[in-house]
């Protein structure tokens, strides 16, 4: 089968995203013509190899958010220097969102901007993290606080990489895939999985093209995230991001329903996609307390004007601020959380 090709349209910084089984064989042809050597950034446990004819070296970074740091960027940069990487060469990331975020930021900073090509190997990486140019690292004070917008030269989503992905990571990715069912009016369910991933990429590409720097519309990508962030923090991060997003979207659907923004059918469609199709949990763990969740949601960084949510409506998904606590309580009631 031929690979899907999606263009992220950003004028002279536009780039292709290739999606398909065996797509990584296209990698070499997508590297910048100026590149005489390449540095591959990956992790030891990722069993995905690519063939390159130009001189290259590999840098392995640590596994987990605790390695998504400025210290890792410094170590990578020192290895770039030792290898003699120049500004006309290329950085290639092979990994999940953690690797693509770190490699992207290292490339953005090296000689004030060196080309990067991402090969995402997780579902989250393919449908979300590798596309759109957000790169960065964490600080003790919070996630992704230091970073840069740095668009890749190309993204290659070889779906064969997903075969080795642990089940929980797949589930997290499905939480993000489910989001795209609600961001577009399309029937994603009618597509087989590779085409569905390609369609998710297309939806994200359009959103990024319209609002590269998240000054407006790009924020709809945070559908389900207001409650999700509160659930992650309240569970001490025992709930993974994608799992929390799945529950967060169900909550957002109830909220839209009690606010008369969507009807019963649309609410039921959320349960169908998230629970029935992707097999994700849709209940808020009963160890959580609604008042604590509400307090955490007030602190959400998108909450400029009171409680702010990305909500569904008859006209699509949009950002809604200043939501009354009464509606939140009605939604928690509907989800049977005390």
Q: How many CB atoms lie within 10 A of CB 124?
A: 25
By CB under 6 A, name the one of 6, 23, 35, 46 that touches ligand NAD. Answer: 46
Name which of 8 and 161 has its Cβ closer to ligand NAD. 161
**325-334 and 290-298 are packed helices; what angle lies between their axes, rounded to 10 degrees?**
140
By CB under 6 A, name the one of 25, 56, 57, 63 that touches ligand NAD. Answer: 63
- Tell me the residue ranges of DSSP E strands in the chain: 4-8, 15-20, 38-42, 56-60, 90-95, 115-120, 134-139, 142-149, 154-158, 309-311, 318-320
The answer to the question of residue 43 lying near ligand NAD (CB under 6 A) is yes
Comparing every residue's Cβ against ligand NAD, the nearest one is: 97
**325-334 and 241-258 are packed helices; what angle lies between their axes, rounded to 10 degrees?**
110
- Minimum Å gap between C-beta 265 and ligand NAD is 30
Closest of 72, 111, 78, 79 to residue 95, by C-alpha: 72
Name which of 34 and 45 has its Cβ closer to ligand NAD. 45
Binding segment for ligand NAD (CB under 6 A), chosen from 1-9, 15-23, 165-173, 289-297, is: 165-173
Name which of 137 and 253 has its Cβ closer to ligand NAD. 137
Name which of 171 and 270 has its Cβ closer to ligand NAD. 171
CA distance 29 to 10: 21
Contact at 8 Å (CB) between 83 and 27? no
By CB under 6 A, name the one of 92, 172, 262, 307 that touches ligand NAD. Answer: 172
Build a one-symbol-per-residue string for 87-116: x at contacts with ligand NAD by CB under 6 A, - elsewhere: --------xxxxx-x---------------
Q: Which helix (H) or strand (E) holds 290?
A: helix 290-298
Binding site for ligand NAD (CB under 6 A): 43, 45-46, 48, 63, 65, 68, 95-99, 101, 121-122, 124-125, 128-129, 132, 134, 143-144, 161, 164-165, 169, 172
């Amino acid at each position: 089968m031929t690979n899907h090709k999606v263009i992220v349209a950003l004028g002279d910084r536009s780039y292709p995203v290739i999606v398909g089984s065996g797509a990584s064989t296209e990698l070499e042809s997508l590297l910048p013509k100026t590149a005489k050597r390449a540095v591959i950034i990956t992790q030891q446990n990722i069993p995905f190899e690519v063939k390159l004819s130009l001189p290259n070296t590999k840098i392995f970074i640590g596994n987990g958010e605790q390695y998504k740091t400025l210290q890792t960027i410094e170590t990578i940069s020192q290895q770039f220097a030792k290898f003699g990487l120049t500004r006309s060469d290329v950085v290639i990331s092979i990994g999940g969102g953690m690797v693509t975020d770190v490699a992207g930021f290292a490339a953005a900073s090296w000689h004030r901007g060196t080309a990067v090509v991402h090969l995402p190997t997780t579902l989250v990486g393919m449908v979300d993290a590798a596309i759109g140019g957000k790169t960065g690292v964490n600080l003790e004070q919070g996630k992704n606080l230091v970073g840069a917008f740095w668009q890749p030269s190309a993204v290659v989503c070889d779906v064969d990489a997903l075969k080795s992905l642990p089940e929980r990571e797949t589930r997290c990715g499905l939480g993000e895939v489910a989001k795209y069912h609600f961001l577009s009016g399309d029937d994603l369910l009618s597509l087989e999985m590779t085409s569905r991933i390609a369609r998710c990429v297309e939806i994200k590409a359009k959103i990024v093209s319209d609002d590269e720097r998240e000054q407006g519309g790009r924020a709809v990508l945070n559908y389900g995230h207001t409650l999700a962030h509160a659930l992650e923090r309240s569970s001490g991060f025992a709930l993974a991001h994608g799992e929390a997003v799945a529950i967060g979207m169900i909550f957002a659907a109830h909220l839209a329903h009690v606010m008369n923004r969507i009807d019963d059918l649309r609410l039921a469609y959320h349960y169908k996609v998230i629970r029935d199709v992707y097999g994700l949990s849709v209940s808020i763990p009963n160890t959580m307390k609604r008042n604590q969740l509400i307090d955490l949601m007030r602190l959400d960084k998108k909450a400029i004007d009171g409680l702010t949510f990305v909500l569904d409506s008859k006209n699509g998904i949009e950002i809604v601020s200043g939501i009354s606590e009464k509606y939140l309580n009605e939604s928690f009631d509907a989800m049977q959380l005390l």
